[in-house]
Structure 1
Amino acid sequence: MSMKAKELKLFFAVGIGGILGALLRYIIAESVSIISFPVGTTIANLMGCFVLAYVTFQPFFKNKLPPAIFTAFTTGLLGSFTTFSTFIAESVLLFEESTAWLILYLPIQILGGVALCFIGAKLAISKE
């Protein structure tokens, strides 16, 4: 397969993964949008942190999946499933609406995300 064909295959794989990740995030956000706190984004971001770390540090995924599938899943699906821009926009909205919600939201997203990345990585490494 030529370099151009490989790049095109990877490009489409990431695009398809991105579409799926965005749709999953939207479904989650819509199904839990019952209070003014951004529960959907929080769930998506925390799940994404854990899964991305697990997949990245678990040798099975890197060694057994074709590069296009691995990249489609990590960069495409998980990249669009988790969303930094929505996290920041919701932080600004919470700041304008309720400082109390913002004080809760920021540590959950940041500390929770880092903690779940560590947990995902540790679990993946322990499975080697």
Structure 2
Amino acid sequence: MRSSARADPRSAEPRGNPSASPNGPIRASDHPPASAVAVPPREGPHAVAVSWVVALVIGIVGLVQLADLDRRSQEVNTEALVPARQLAEVRRAFLQTRVDALADEMLPKTGPEDVAHQA
């Protein structure tokens, strides 16, 4: 049984000559108007200028935020890390003193004076 639907000749791909279409040669009137394809010349420089302004604003905002980030990281260093480091040094010195005191208790005494602590 044959199909009653026929293929649209305009949808078929041209064969042979690439410049020929199924409906005949390609004419200049077959192309879309230039205004539909390209940006009109009077809007082109405006679009470029707007894109430059947007890029400039993004760059400036990025630099300002980077400077603020640097300032905040310096504040974290001076207000949090340095005191924490100093506190750790005090704790280490305290623990070392405690270990030394316990070690002194474990050393055998040789007489009335402790020989280990004499200079």
- TM-score normalised by the shorter chain: which range applies? under 0.3
Question: Taking CA–CA contacts closer than 8 Å with sequence separation of 6 or more, which of the two structures ends up with the larger relative contact order?
Answer: 1
* Larger Rg computed on CA atoms: 2
TM-score (norm 1): 0.25
Greater share of helix residues, 1 or 2?
1
